[in-house]
């Protein structure tokens, strides 16, 4: 079974430029999460989708960040314009909420460097 797929793995951009990250969750998983992880810290939730609905986006900086999950499968996270402080690892995870375990599985992440 394929795991959570993310692309690109690395991205270097100049500040004020736009950037987009893509995530394909595990097949059949109805819940998708985008996290931000700074060095030495645990992941922090940006947005959570259940199917195609964003059910928790309270931590998403909506002035510059946006996300979509069309058809309730893969998802895109966008930053426009990027700032220096956005340099971090962006992690995508998925789970099957409603099952007994609700175990979360992560992709490899996208390391963003804003110059």
Partner 1 sequence: KQEVTQIPAALSVPEGENLVLNCSFTDSAIYNLQWFRQDPGKGLTSLLLIQSSQREQTSGRLNASLDKSSGRSTLYIAASQPGDSATYLCAVFTGNQFYFGTGTSLTVIP
Would you tell me which residues interact with partner 1 (CB under 8 A)?
A: 4, 6, 33, 40-45, 48, 55-56, 91, 93, 100-109, 111
**CB of 71: closest distance to partner 1 in angstroms?**
23
State how far the Cα of 115 lies from the Cα of 109, in Å rounded to an integer.
19
Q: Which residue number, 6 or 79, has a Cβ lying nearer to partner 1?
A: 6
Return the bridge partners of 111, or none.
Answer: 10, 89
Q: Which residue number, 81 or 111, has a Cβ lying nearer to partner 1?
A: 111
Q: Classify the phi-psi angles of 85: left when phi > 0, otherwise alpha if psi is within -120 to 50, otherwise beta.
A: alpha
């Amino acid at each position: 079974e394929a795991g959570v797929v993310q692309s690109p793995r690395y991205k270097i951009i100049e500040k004020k430029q736009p950037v987009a990250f893509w995530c394909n969750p595990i097949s059949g998983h109805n819940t998708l999460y985008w996290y931000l992880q700074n060095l030495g810290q645990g992941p922090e939730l940006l947005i959570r989708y259940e199917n195609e609905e964003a059910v928790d986006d309270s931590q998403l900086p909506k002035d510059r960040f946006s996300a979509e999950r069309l058809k309730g499968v893969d998802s895109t996270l966008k930053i426009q314009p990027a700032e220096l402080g956005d340099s971090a690892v962006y992690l995508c995870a998925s789970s099957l909420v409603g099952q007994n375990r609700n175990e979360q599985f992560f992709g490899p992440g996208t390391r963003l460097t804003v110059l």
